[in-house]
Structure 1
Amino acid sequence: MSDTTRQDLTQGNGHVTNGRPETSHHPETDPKREDKHYYGIPPIKHAHWTWQIPVYFWIGGIGAGTHLFSTVAQLLGHDDPALKRASRYTVLVTMILSPIMLIWDLGRPERFYNMMRILKLRSPMSTQSWSLLIFGNLGGLLAARQAAEDGLMGRNALSGLLIRLIPERLLSLLALPFGLFVGFNTGNLISATSVPIWARNWALMAPTFLASGLSTALSWLSLVLHLTRSGEPKTLRALHRAERATIVIEAGLIAASLVRMSRWGKPLFSKSVAPLFVGGALLSGIAAPAALLFSGKQTRGKSILSSLLVLAGGLAFRFALIKAGRISADDPEAYFTFASDRSAPQPEDKV
């Protein structure tokens, strides 16, 4: 063993057992660990995302999910004006807020502009930015037509022109794949990294985000329709059935993800993340609303409560994953075992 390594060990950067130094763990998963790095240097950089990114993931999923449900309902011949109105205005608001959240996190608006200069099909961030642009513009046209139908632009020639020129069914169909991609690709954004907890679950991260986004979207629509006392009874029944199916699918995907993550999923149960993941996402966001959705006759009060719980749980889920990713990136053993699928290298291997 080199003198430098011996000096590091004597200074408390490691421990020796039977002549071999023990590998340290991340302080969130091992309280005995004193340092956060391997040889004083983090193996990878963790994402410096602030609160705007998990909020963007959340509202983007709601926008995509509301358009999906509304379009499918329209294709099946279920033409509920209240549902269309809620969906179109929701897409408009979420697609305005989404780029604002991204630009806010980037710090400088020109960085977002630079991403729009060229489309890189192999870049999740590039494809996501372009999907936001296209989905947002198509959703904006649909919202403009809806505003004209609702008389928000006045009863004038412009309103009549918008209603005649904007083909709602065609635009809804054109926007559908881009909306699905926005909801699906948020999972790809984080799984296409070297962060162990995210990269390990690359196959299930995107479907899980899509299911969670659809679940929060259905809850949002249910909440709006119940609070405004609008929506046809068959719409509310269809929403209720969709909510129950989606929350079961989401729970199954999260369970499968935990199995897939294996030991690299430990940060989700660490002291700082467990309240968000276990308390917020699993208990408040899935278990409690599932109990309300599957218990007895559905009432307006139960629907509102379950919707609020799902929305809060969906947001907590995204914050938990981002926070767990930081812990995973700062854990050298997690990175080296994930990268090599074997034990992390020992300091004496450096000699």
Structure 2
Amino acid sequence: MTGIDPRAADATAPPEREAMTGARGRRRRKAEQAMVPDAKFGSYYGKPVLNKPTWAAADIASYLFLGGLAGASSVMAAGADLTGRRALARGCKAGALVAVSGSLYALIHDLGRPMRFVNMLRTVKPSSPMSVGSWILAGYGPQAGIAALTEVTGLLPGIGRAATIGAGMFGPAVAAYTAPLMADTAVPTWHDGYRELPFVFAGSAASAAGGWGLLIAPPGEAAPARKATIVGGALELGATSLMERRMGLSAEPLRQGTAGKLMRAAKGLTVAGAVVGGVLGRKSRAVAAVGGLASLAGAACTRFGFFHAGVASAEDPKYTVRPQRERLERERDPA
């Protein structure tokens, strides 16, 4: 009985069929992997994987910014009213009313018809951020209006005080509810920031309200506004940094294009507002006003930057496809 000599088989085997082990095999596999071209992410007929958000930046980003400014201003107004800071309270009440009115106008303008907003109040759906947000605005808006009108006219001070406190209680929800509203979508950059985004928006709102307070109050009454620019700015920047590190690939649009420019401007302006307005503006109203404007502009850039980053992530298929592939690979190979 004759057998096949393994050495003869190895000698006659084609080079490409040889089984190589050790360092030589690893070099061979590495060379083969290097020849694989980078993946190109596309879709049928060049269409995006996701439908691009149809919201207009001028409307929805303004709605995000003004709503945050309104809510945080009402919180500051309530605190100023209770501590006897009349000028700060008066200015924040007026600012909150103007800001929430502008926010509602921007939202309704984007919806197209006022009745579409009213229709959202026909039901209560706790699982829907839009439904909850509509009811938050419905409860907050009238109280902010009453607080401002009674302050200006001097009529019904008791009702005005109650409305001021009520608006202040709604204020944090008004400032931050738009974060889950944005995150409750399939847009990669908006959705993947869901953990830290409420803190980003809350800090941005506090920084904006602090900036507004520095503009309308004398230095002797502006201590809460100065603290808001510092604490709010630190919260915004810290939460943004943590969010970008955790998000991975979907944070890329926050550093590129229009969104990248806006987010870099937001960081610089927020720091400038905290330093100039919060620290250097203790005695000079002019210096405080410059810092206040920087804080307001920084908060606006944050909202507009995040909005544009989401649109960019929806337009590029890789921000949808690559994370899905990575999740599937982890499920197939948990180790």
User: TM-score with structure 2 length normalisation?
Assistant: 0.80
Per-residue CA deviation, residues 185-227 of structure 1 (Å, 9 max, x unaligned), is 11111111111112111011112101101110110111122xx
Q: 1:293 to 1:90 in 2, by over 3 A?
A: closer
- Which residue number in structure 1 is paired with residue 128 of structure 2? 123
User: Would you tell me which structure has more helix in proportion to its own residues?
Assistant: 2
- Which residue number in structure 1 is paired with residue 92 of structure 2? 87
- Which residue number in structure 1 is paired with residue 242 of structure 2? 256
Per-residue CA deviation, residues 225-283 of structure 1 (Å, 9 max, x unaligned), is 2xxxxx471x22332233222222222111111112222111112133222111x2112
Consecutive unaligned residues in structure 2, runs of 5 or more: 1-32, 330-335
- Which residue number in structure 1 is paired with residue 165 of structure 2? 173
Q: 1:337 to 1:242 in 2, by over 3 A?
A: same
1:103 to 101, 108, 112: 108
Distance 2:206 2:128 in 1: 24
- Which residue number in structure 2 is paired with residue 187 of structure 1? 179
- Which residue number in structure 2 is paired with residue 10 of structure 1? none
Asked if the contact 2:244–2:251 (Cα under 8 Å) also holds between the matched residues in 1, the reply is yes
Distance 1:257 1:18 in 2: 32
Q: CA deviation at 1:178?
A: 2.1
Letter in 2 for 1:252: G
Greater C-alpha radius of gyration: 2
Matched residues, number: 295
Q: Residues 61-76 of structure 1: matches in 2 within 5 Å?
A: 61-75=68-82
Asked if the contact 2:207–2:229 (Cα under 8 Å) also holds between the matched residues in 1, the reply is yes
Letter in 1 for 2:276: L
- Which residue number in structure 1 is paired with residue 48 of structure 2? 42
Letter in 1 for 2:102: L
Distance 1:102 1:71 in 2: 26
Distance 1:339 1:193 in 2: 16
Q: 1:121 to 1:274 in 2, by over 3 A?
A: same
Distance 1:339 1:133 in 2: 38
- Name the SS of the counterpart of 1:273 in structure 2: helix
- Which residue number in structure 1 is paired with residue 300 of structure 2? 315
Per-residue CA deviation, residues 80-134 of structure 1 (Å, 9 max, x unaligned), is 2212211221122122222211110112222222212222211111111111111
- Which residue number in structure 1 is paired with residue 272 of structure 2? 288
Q: 1:141 to 1:253 in 2, by over 3 A?
A: same
Consecutive unaligned residues in structure 1, runs of 5 or more: 1-16, 26-35, 150-158, 226-230, 345-351
Asked if the contact 2:143–2:167 (Cα under 8 Å) also holds between the matched residues in 1, the reply is yes
Letter in 2 for 1:89: A
Give the percent of matched residue pairs that are identical in Structure 1 and Structure 2: 28
- Which residue number in structure 2 is paired with residue 33 of structure 1? none
- Which residue number in structure 2 is paired with residue 24 of structure 1? 40
2:230 to 241, 244, 251: 244
Q: CA deviation at 1:135?
A: 0.4
- Which residue number in structure 2 is paired with residue 134 of structure 1? 139
Distance 1:216 1:205 in 2: 16
Q: CA deviation at 1:72?
A: 2.8
Per-residue CA deviation, residues 136-185 of structure 1 (Å, 9 max, x unaligned), is 11111212211221xxxxxxxxx4xx34xx43343333323322111111
Letter in 2 for 1:45: N
Q: 1:80 to 1:72 in 2, by over 3 A?
A: closer
